[in-house]
Structure 1
Amino acid sequence: MTAAVSNSQIYDEAYARDRAEIEDLMARYLFALDYNDMDTFETMFTDDAEFEFARGRVAGKANIMDAVKGFKKRIGEHYKDEDGNPATLRHVLAHTAIRVQGDRAWTRAQWFEMANDGPGKSLKMGTFGIYEDKLVRVDGRWLFSERRIMNEFLEGRQSGPENPVRGMDGAVIGG
């Protein structure tokens, strides 16, 4: 793959608006997830969306919601503060690369999470990984059609040794 492949994105006014809308969607996703706002969370996916995370892959909004609710329950049981109460877990989006072609878009973003499960209920970084997303514009609004969550700390769930952005660019241009 050449440098031209990774740099062939057109950065015009439409891209700036699309990028802002996609970044807003990604931030709202994390706020909804961390604050248990499942009504908002559900609206961020197409009806036939696919969602892949450490426990598997599901398709369709109803199955995504069941999987995420189950995940949230297990996380609440796993992360405890020093008093034994469920810890407060917060996800953080680091840097994001976004490609847009018409009404389709792709992202690669690094994420990490932290919780107040450290000594004295201090923040402790827990896990981290890569989001690999496919998005579509539906009725003027960007939605996830596929969200793949890579977990760099779990065997078999790592993003791999290659730059994920170059992989995204190659897949978009080649496919």
Structure 2
Amino acid sequence: MTTSTESSLRYLLDRAEIADVQLRYATGTDSRDWDLFRSCFTDEVEVDFSEGFGQPVVRLSADDWVKATAPRMESFQATQHMITNVVITFEDDDHATVVAYVRARHHLPNPTGSPDQTVYGHYTNKFVRTASGWRISTLKLTATWMTGNFGIFQSALTP
């Protein structure tokens, strides 16, 4: 293969792997497969859910991020995270930024209100090439708008 062909092939393979990681993130969340979910991240991850949720930006181990995420998502009867319009921009051979639309639906039967809540927005995630492949090092959710019962997030963790 020529250098140009090898470079093009590497580019396409990197794009496919990065897109797969982004989709594994959603699949791991919705299937409650926390090993799959964990496989998406570098050992340390920055998480920014400040826009729309008011949570501070945090930097923590990926294992701690999984431990924090699992109980919340498992407390819903069902979730569905749909990720589309994936745009990948490479900063260099080992760093990329992915902007992708998300529609995240959360379902929890609730006698005091709507059982559903939906977040519409986009992720702006930073990816790093590691020895294990491409991984998310920064996870940023920008919630553009929400519909339904936002209170089910609190209800989900109340026994």
CA distance in 1, matches of 2:136, 2:93: 15
| Aligned match of 2:86 | 96
Alignment of 1:143 with 2:135, yes or no, is yes
Tell me: CA distance 1:116–1:65, structure 2 relative to 1, closer, same or farther (3 Å): closer
Question: Among 9, 22, 26, which residue is 1:26 paired with?
Answer: 22
CA distance in 1, matches of 2:134, 2:125: 12
Please tell me the residue identity of whatever aligns with 1:24.
D
Question: Among 46, 62, 77, which residue is 1:50 paired with?
Answer: 46
Check the 8 A contact 2:86/2:99 in 1, yes or no. yes
Identity %: 25
CA distance in 2, matches of 1:115, 1:66: 19
**What secondary structure is seen at the aligned counterpart in 2 of 1:126?**
strand
| Aligned match of 1:105 | 96
Tell me: CA distance 1:125–1:95, structure 2 relative to 1, closer, same or farther (3 Å): farther
CA distance in 2, matches of 1:116, 1:64: 22
Residues 14-40 of structure 1 deviation map (CA, whole Å, 9 limit, x = unaligned): 221111111111111111110100112
CA distance in 1, matches of 2:126, 2:101: 15
Offset, 1:73:
4.6
TM-score (norm 2): 0.70
Offset, 1:113:
2.3
TM-score (norm 1): 0.64
CA distance in 2, matches of 1:114, 1:38: 19
CA distance in 2, matches of 1:103, 1:21: 13
**What secondary structure is seen at the aligned counterpart in 2 of 1:56?**
coil
Please tell me the residue identity of whatever aligns with 2:142.
M
| Aligned match of 2:70 | 69
Q: Which runs of 5+ in 2 are unaligned?
A: 1-6, 110-115, 147-159
Offset, 1:50:
1.1
Tell me: CA distance 1:31–1:105, structure 2 relative to 1, closer, same or farther (3 Å): same
Q: Which runs of 5+ in 1 are unaligned?
A: 1-10, 77-85, 119-123, 155-175
Q: Choose between structure 1 and 2: higher strand proportion.
A: 2
Structure 1 segments, 4+ long, off by >4 Å, are 115-118
Please tell me the residue identity of whatever aligns with 2:12.
A
Residues 48-102 of structure 1 deviation map (CA, whole Å, 9 limit, x = unaligned): 211222333332213312331243156x1xxxxxxxxx2x221111201101220
